[in-house]
Chains A and B, each alone.
Chain A
Amino acid sequence: MSERFKIAIIGSGPGGLSAAARAAERNVSHVLLEAEAHLSNTIYLYQKGKYVMDEPGILPLRSPIPFEAGLRETILDRWNETCARLKVNVRHRHEVAAINRRDDGIFEIRCQNGNRLEAEAVVLGIGLQGNLRKLGVPGEDLPFVQYQLDDPDAYEGETIVVVGAGDAAIENAIALARQNNVVIINRKDEFGRAKKGNESAILKAIDDGLIECYYNSAPEKVEALSAGRKPGRMILNTANGRAQILLDRVIARLGATAPRGFVEACGVVFPNKDPASVPAISAQYESNVKGLYIVGALGGYPLIKQAMNQGYEVVEYITGTAVEPADAPLLKAKFSNLRGIGSVEQALAQIQKNVPVLSHITPLQMREFMLDSDIRTPAEGAVIFERNDYTNSFYSIVEGEVRIAVENKPHPIVLRRGEFFGEMSLISGRRRSATVLAGANCVLVETPRRSMNRLINSVEAVKAEIDRIFIMRAIQSRFASEASSEQLAEMAASATLQRYKAGDYVFQEGEDGDCLQLVRVGSLTISRNIGGKEIVLTYVAAGNYVGEMALMGESKRSASARAAIATETIRLDGPVFKRLISRIPALRLRLQKEFKERTAANLAMQSMPGGGDIISFLMAQGAGEATDILLIDESLCIRCDNCEKACAETHSGTSRLDREAGPTFANVHVPTSCRHCEHPHCMKDCPPDALRRAPNGEVFINDNCIGCGNCERNCPYGVIHMASKPPKKPGLLQWLLLGRGPGPGEAPYDPDAVKDPKAKKAVKCDMCKDQAGGAACVRACPTGAAIRISPEEFPAYAQSRR
């Protein structure tokens, strides 16, 4: 019979380690199963010398394992020590392959190495990093086969075989080729999966003979050699038969398998297919499988301290000890300005009862939701947000009412207890469409974009409800002035949501028009085929509609509409809409007038050769998802780099824009600089949610950045860097009169001289939101070459540049 424990903890990350330590401290029979030969693989793999941060600062730590902000090495050393001192029963190199819950409630755990164990409860703390894919052939674990590369300059004069064709493999191969003899093994005949820059770099390196490439090849085995000059060899299967490479080292960069498949195989259910969704767990961290608990990043808590607290708490719950979660004081503080509400649990329940959208979510999700949210009790008449603000938070009305001031309408729309607002900007990533004022006795919950998106992705019912209201309100805001509410409801009933990938046609010139499309996310370009060439006429941003004309007489589409970026539309059924306009002459008149204006603008564009090409060029640079983009007219730019100097001078010494890099077309240059995307990619995966959007649209990074580098990787435009804060410079007059260097605009400091690793955080353009005068780059340009514009201005911009 196999060994039996009370608790089996899988994964020794901060979550799992803390759980095991708590179990050891309390003498609960336990085992900690870790796939690797060391503890906490995710943290082990951080860059050497990384300064690990202990966000969120206000959250108290509750764990037998110490943790405070500091160097990776120090933290790992202390964890190892504590683990040994508490006699945590850890088994290394025990990668769990399967977990099976027997009918008697006991879990059978099978490890990759053949060991089997039994446990009464399982704590899953395997994080989100997944397991690095190994070679999958004999010899994959030999000492000279590695799956990670810290410092390419550490190797010299070796023959190194790099396996893989993704960005990591290419970057490693190119870096290693500086000092070594590098061979890259690619299963396919091209490097299509990599970023453009990497693809061209590797093809060039291969062309120049710097790197040798085996295409259509796969390793068959790796062997250690005892004789000869090289320690090992790899046998390859190539298109032309087998080949052998004598080598010093193999570096395989094959990506990681997401843990989701394994977790699902354990019986845990995810709410939907979205990779961002997390399994629903109870307030005690128990999943839908009874006795199987989930802590840490896997459960949706991406910070070390959160994971450690959960590890501690979960052991208490399993052993039947009641504890107040570590975040309880924080929640209590949030409710402090609400009178007449008892315990935190009661307050949460009350909010869920009052706001129907929130009634679908689990108590744990509700806690997390409230931890990220703020309770607002604005005075009557106070502005909650203004029309044209770029904020993107979501509001639920717990008590009282709010008034929405609608343009051209004397009476505001009133929303009452239980309703929500702010979903338009959240979803479209665009400006607020109306000003919202507080009514009497109003109590609101304001939730930031990330938490709301996570909820929408995790709970189907929330998504459905928000989408329904979104459609209704979108239709209302376009047609309410002419149509009655029954007519609007009829239109809404025929509406469906459609998704398009960048480049997809929403409709094509010459097709029969059978619908009207309201753009809700993303943007479109409108083009016509003129003389065999697709000429872009204009750009349509989210919030506008297209395709009405074919419904009002001519039945063929007069132009094509194409998604400039990933786009979602609300499709309104043609016949229903036609019936509506035939009944409402005022609507017909308005649409006709708008159509005339559009046609005139299109004609102007069409008669201007080259104008559309500029829009096309900008779209190809991803400007379609921008809200504000820096453009430089190269016929005016004297390359003085004053723009970069101004940026560095106003942003602690590092310029956040690279003027020279970036493509140019017809003298329009798109420098490498943040575009403040509607849906910023950089926000996707930020553990402390440090990336935020300010009311004027600036996407900026808060001080609680932990320097993990995810945003740097996620931004497709390469505009985020990791940088440390330089020492202060002398003032202008001191430099001018006393010669205290370095002067304004001069290279500020020697970046390598800054040894303090604390400072390495992500930096990016914040559009000078803290500068009274506005964007420093534009204001510093002496020749007027640099401007910032938003995509709505592209058509006018293109016309201004014949």
Chain B
Amino acid sequence: MHDSILTHAKSRYLWISLGLCVISIALYIWHDPGIAPNGGTWLGYTLGTVAALLIVWLLLFGIRKRSYSTTMGSTLGWLSAHVYLGTALILIALLHCGFQFGWNLHTLTLVLMLIVIFSGFFGVYTYLRYPTLMTRNRESATRDAMLDEIAEIDQNALSLADGIAPEIHAVVLRSIENTRLGGGVWTQLRARDGSDIAIARIKVAIEKRETQIGAPPPSMQAGQTILAMVDFLAGRADDKQSEALRKLIDILSRKRALATRVARDIQYQAIMEIWLYIHVPLSIGLLAALIGHIISVFFYW
């Protein structure tokens, strides 16, 4: 009942595109211009025109997508056709120029087109793959709910830290100030968040305190878990404090898990969007180059 971009209407546009390709190839093989096939023959002109019209139509998808009350088919149908016909364009354009390339505007047009198309392929791949990953990662919470919970944990962590020691409070506070989710494109794509650092810093602060107190420095190897550390401390600090410390580390671990999930959520979303930043501007560039190409072949040829 749900159709994907690829299966929409029994993949009608796949068949249409294949048909278009077959006809183009047949014409290309049958056509014998006498010289090497190129854009200047009648078939070249025809295929070029078809390709140019297709490009204009592909660009119109940006408008269709925003025409919410149009009666011209569903967005899904348009996108399905966009994907398949856009792909057929590779072949049609190549046949148009008869596989002749040079360092000129014509070939630039072709290159731009290919980049746009291949970025489109990447887009389709992300659309089919990432939604499922996203759902799994969210475990049926919404992103806002996760962010709310993080804010709440921060609050609780502060009040717990308050009861332990000023150093710990300062560390927790700093880590809260440093937690940044989202951020620039790169941070979004790398899915980093600052929550690991908090736990590491607490560890350092405790170590420092222990040495200050003059107690034999606890033998904390690098690999030792934070919980083992708490157990170790439980022996000396008073009960209430170590209890609070254990709680603090508990909720900070929870926060870390949450923050990782939020960061990954943002990452997935960013990946699903980032390619459009290539696809769309370059498609505008393509339009400009195409106009240049057409004008140049008409006037300077």
Co-complex (A, B): yes
A661 within 8 A of B: yes
Instruction: For B131, give its contact among A635, A743, A772, A793 (CB under 8 Å).
Output: A635
CA gap between A776 and B67 in the complex, in Å: 10
Chain A 622-638 interface mask (CB, 8 Å, partner B; 1/0) = 00000000000111111
CA gap between A646 and B272 in the complex, in Å: 20
**Among B72-80, B187-195, B284-292, the stretch in contact with A:** B72-80
Would you call B69 and A783 a contact (CB within 8 A)?
no
Known: A642-B75, A660-B142, A783-B5. A776 touches B69 (CB 8 A): yes
Task: Note all chain B residues with C-beta closer than 8 A to A667.
Answer: 132, 135
A192 within 8 A of B: no
Interface of A is mostly: loop
Would you call B131 and A800 a contact (CB within 8 A)?
no
Task: Note all chain A residues with C-beta closer than 8 A to B70.
Answer: 773
Interface size class of B (residues with CB under 8 A): 35 or more
Chain A 760-802 interface mask (CB, 8 Å, partner B; 1/0) = 0000000000011100101111111101010001001100110
CA gap between A311 and B130 in the complex, in Å: 65
CA gap between A392 and B175 in the complex, in Å: 61
Known: A667-B135, A780-B75, A787-B2. A208 touches B156 (CB 8 A): yes
A745 within 8 A of B: yes
Would you call B71 and A783 a contact (CB within 8 A)?
no
Task: Note all chain A residues with C-beta closer than 8 A to B69.
Answer: 649-650, 771-773, 776
Would you call A780 and B2 a contact (CB within 8 A)?
no
A664 nearest in chain B by CB position: B140
A775 nearest in chain B by CB position: B74
A726 within 8 A of B: no
B28 within 8 A of A: no
Known: A744-B66, A782-B76. A638 touches B272 (CB 8 A): yes
Would you call A637 and B68 a contact (CB within 8 A)?
no
Task: Note all chain A residues with C-beta closer than 8 A to B76.
Answer: 779, 781-784
A157 within 8 A of B: no
Would you call B134 and A639 a contact (CB within 8 A)?
yes
Would you call A783 and B68 a contact (CB within 8 A)?
no
Known: A649-B68, A745-B66. A635 touches B135 (CB 8 A): yes
B3 within 8 A of A: yes
A732 within 8 A of B: yes
CA gap between A553 and B142 in the complex, in Å: 53
Task: Note all chain B residues with C-beta closer than 8 A to A646.
Answer: 68
Would you call A743 and B1 a contact (CB within 8 A)?
no
Task: Note all chain B residues with C-beta closer than 8 A to A745.
Answer: 66, 68
Distance in Å: Cβ of B153 to nearest Cβ of chain A? 10
A206-246 at interface with B (beta carbon < 8 Å): 208
**Which one of A635, A640, A771 has the highest number of Cβ atoms from chain B below 10 Å of its Cβ?**
A635
Known: A771-B69, A783-B4. A778 touches B74 (CB 8 A): yes
CA gap between A637 and B126 in the complex, in Å: 11
B121 within 8 A of A: no
B53-105 at interface with A (beta carbon < 8 Å): 63, 65-71, 74-76, 78-79
A716 within 8 A of B: no
CA gap between A759 and B73 in the complex, in Å: 33
Task: Note all chain B residues with C-beta closer than 8 A to A782.
Answer: 5, 65, 75-76, 78-79
CA gap between A11 and B10 in the complex, in Å: 67
Would you call B68 and A650 a contact (CB within 8 A)?
yes
B209 within 8 A of A: no
Instruction: For A638, give its contact among B67, B71, B130 (CB under 8 Å).
Output: B130
A646 nearest in chain B by CB position: B68
CA gap between A276 and B142 in the complex, in Å: 39
B107 within 8 A of A: no
Distance in Å: Cβ of A735 to nearest Cβ of chain B? 9
Would you call A732 and B1 a contact (CB within 8 A)?
no
A645 within 8 A of B: yes
A633 nearest in chain B by CB position: B2
**Which one of A650, A771, A779 has the highest number of Cβ atoms from chain B below 10 Å of its Cβ?**
A779
Chain B 8-35 interface mask (CB, 8 Å, partner A; 1/0) = 1000000000000000000000000000
Chain A 315-351 interface mask (CB, 8 Å, partner B; 1/0) = 0000000000000000000000000000000000000
B134 nearest in chain A by CB position: A639
CA gap between A304 and B126 in the complex, in Å: 57
CA gap between A745 and B67 in the complex, in Å: 10
Would you call B71 and A773 a contact (CB within 8 A)?
yes
B127 within 8 A of A: yes
Known: A732-B67, A773-B71, A778-B74. A784 touches B131 (CB 8 A): no
Would you call B131 and A637 a contact (CB within 8 A)?
yes
B152 within 8 A of A: yes
CA gap between A639 and B128 in the complex, in Å: 12
**Which one of B67, B68, B127, B134 has the highest number of Cβ atoms from chain A below 10 Å of its Cβ?**
B68
Distance in Å: Cβ of A170 to nearest Cβ of chain B? 18
Distance in Å: Cβ of B226 to nearest Cβ of chain A? 23
Task: Note all chain B residues with C-beta closer than 8 A to A727.
Answer: none
Distance in Å: Cβ of A671 to nearest Cβ of chain B? 11
CA gap between A785 and B2 in the complex, in Å: 6
Chain A 553-596 interface mask (CB, 8 Å, partner B; 1/0) = 00000000000000000000000000000000000000000000
Instruction: For B140, give its contact among A637, A639, A663, A744 (CB under 8 Å).
Output: A663
B156 nearest in chain A by CB position: A208
A778 nearest in chain B by CB position: B74
Would you call B2 and A645 a contact (CB within 8 A)?
no
Known: A635-B132, A639-B131, A661-B142. A780 touches B269 (CB 8 A): no
Distance in Å: Cβ of B66 to nearest Cβ of chain A? 4
Distance in Å: Cβ of A115 to nearest Cβ of chain B? 54
Distance in Å: Cβ of A398 to nearest Cβ of chain B? 41
Distance in Å: Cβ of B115 to nearest Cβ of chain A? 21
Instruction: For B152, give its contact among A208, A636, A660 (CB under 8 Å).
Output: A208
Instruction: For A784, give its contact among B8, B63, B126, B140 (CB under 8 Å).
Output: B8
CA gap between A781 and B74 in the complex, in Å: 8
CA gap between A736 and B64 in the complex, in Å: 13
Task: Note all chain B residues with C-beta closer than 8 A to A736.
Answer: 63
CA gap between A681 and B78 in the complex, in Å: 38
Would you call B68 and A780 a contact (CB within 8 A)?
yes
Would you call A783 and B127 a contact (CB within 8 A)?
yes
CA gap between A660 and B140 in the complex, in Å: 10
Would you call B75 and A636 a contact (CB within 8 A)?
no
Known: A637-B131, A661-B142, A743-B66. A781 touches B75 (CB 8 A): yes
Distance in Å: Cβ of A738 to nearest Cβ of chain B? 15
Task: Note all chain A residues with C-beta closer than 8 A to B78.
Answer: 782
Task: Note all chain B residues with C-beta closer than 8 A to A778.
Answer: 74
Distance in Å: Cβ of A80 to nearest Cβ of chain B? 45
Task: Note all chain A residues with C-beta closer than 8 A to B128.
Answer: 636
CA gap between A517 and B3 in the complex, in Å: 37
Task: Note all chain A residues with C-beta closer than 8 A to B135.
Answer: 634-635, 664, 667
Distance in Å: Cβ of A562 to nearest Cβ of chain B? 25
Chain A 644-676 interface mask (CB, 8 Å, partner B; 1/0) = 011001100000000011011001000000000
A800 nearest in chain B by CB position: B1
Distance in Å: Cβ of B56 to nearest Cβ of chain A? 15
Task: Note all chain B residues with C-beta closer than 8 A to A639.
Answer: 131, 134, 269, 272
Distance in Å: Cβ of B8 to nearest Cβ of chain A? 6
Task: Note all chain B residues with C-beta closer than 8 A to A637.
Answer: 131
Would you call A784 and B67 a contact (CB within 8 A)?
no
Task: Note all chain B residues with C-beta closer than 8 A to A636.
Answer: 2, 4, 127-128, 131
Show 15 residue pairs from A and B whose CB-CB distance is below 8 angstroms, ordered by the A residue: A636-B2, A636-B4, A636-B128, A649-B68, A650-B69, A664-B140, A732-B63, A732-B66, A772-B69, A773-B71, A778-B74, A780-B65, A782-B5, A784-B8, A787-B2
Given contacts A642-B65, A772-B69, A787-B2, 15 further A-B contacts (CB under 8 A): A633-B2, A636-B4, A639-B131, A639-B134, A642-B75, A646-B68, A660-B142, A663-B140, A743-B66, A744-B68, A745-B68, A771-B69, A782-B79, A783-B76, A789-B1
Q: Which residues of A contact B (CB under 8 A)?
A: 208, 633-640, 642, 645-646, 649-650, 660-661, 663-664, 667, 732, 736, 743-745, 771-773, 776, 778-785, 787, 789, 793, 796-797, 800-801
10 nearest A-B pairs in the assembled complex, by CB-CB distance:
A744-B66, A773-B71, A646-B68, A633-B2, A634-B135, A649-B68, A635-B132, A784-B3, A784-B76, A779-B74
